[in-house]
Amino acid sequence: MKKSMIANTVAAAAALLAIGAVHAQANDTLKKIKDSGSATMGVRESSGALAYTLGDGKYTGFHHDVCQKVFADIQKQLGLAKLDIKYQPVTSQNRIPLVQNGTVDLECGSTTNNATRQKDVAFAPTLYVEEVRIAVKAASGITNITQLANKTVATTTGTTSVQLLRKHERATGVDFKELFGKDHADSFLLLESGRADAFVMDGQILAGSIAKAKSPGDYKIVGEVLSVEPIGIMMRKDDPAFKRAVDDSVKAMVKSGEVAKLYDKWFMQPIPPTNTKLNMPASEATKAAWANPNDKPLEDYLKK
């Protein structure tokens, strides 16, 4: 019996060591990248100018370009002659699990950095602070939150936008129906097709969706700002060496002025595929984030 107990104890200890080794490997992204000669970027299909697809497996956008530079800096840091960047499309629903399980090394989309998500993942310093707004058809007559009463409001599954709308003080007593799109393009289609009267989402995603519409002039962004949110690039939690490498790269881009140039490229100049301008100057909150790069969550922005 004693031998059995000893054997079981040894087996349990071995199992714990094995689990620890797997955990350590999962949380050593730099080693994984160096050993494999590749890194995986989580990309979005339709996250406005921050991240979107051009089709045929091609992706682009502000956060896409930032992540390309981060990986280039990591390649240099690791002394790799070549680094293969792989794309993994993600959605609002699966983006966090795919970062956690190691499928994606950097998620370069349009994710709000909040305290709840910081329990599961880590964020790079914020380079874009979003204002959540409402998009409607220009002919709808809707100009504010109270006019959404008895209307159908679309948003994207896995996002916080409708929750923010319901919590807004002007929405008290306003009863509306929720309709969820599987991604941002699908949510805009709900508005475009008339199945929804409004689409609530990050302002730049709304602007990007309108810019790519068949008739951009048929839509407008209206109403009060529902929330001011830091949008961040995600990575695995509890991997300090990788986070330091990412943070150092991002901060260097801010200091050199490269971030400001990328912002101008994506939010002030014509962008593909239709060469439409979003005309969205950097907000004061975004400029403040550049002046003091940090990964503070949404809750810090809500403090008065």
What pLDDT digit, counting tens, does each position of 76-90 carry? 999 999 999 999 999
Which segments of the chain belong to CATH 3.40.190.10? 10-129+230-302, 131-227
Q: Is the pLDDT of residue 287 over 60?
A: yes
Contacts of 119 (CB under 8 A, 6+ apart): none
Residues 90/156, Cβ–Cβ less than 8 Å: no
Percent of the chain with pLDDT over 90: 75
Residue type, 177: K
Which region among 101-105, 115-119, 156-160, 247-251 has the lowest average model confidence (pLDDT)?
Answer: 156-160
Enumerate the β-bridge partners of residue 248.
none
What pLDDT is recorded for position 292? 97
User: Which pLDDT score is estimated for 96?
Assistant: 98
List pLDDT tens digits, range 185-228: 999 999 999 999 999 999 989 998 998 898 999 999 998 888 88
Q: What is the pLDDT of residues 141-194, one digit of tens each?
A: 999 999 999 999 999 998 878 888 888 878 888 999 999 999 999 999 999 999
Computed over every residue of the chain, the mean pLDDT equals 90
Q: What is the pLDDT of residue 304?
A: 52
Residue 14 has pLDDT above 60, yes or no: no
Residue 1 binned pLDDT confidence (cut-offs 50, 70, 90) = very low
Tell me if the pTM is above 0.85.
no
Residue 15 predicted with pLDDT over 60? no
Question: Which CATH architecture describes the domain 131-227?
Answer: 3-Layer(aba) Sandwich (3.40)
pLDDT of 291 higher than 60: yes
pLDDT at 162: 84
Superfamily of domain 10-129+230-302: Periplasmic binding protein-like II (3.40.190.10)
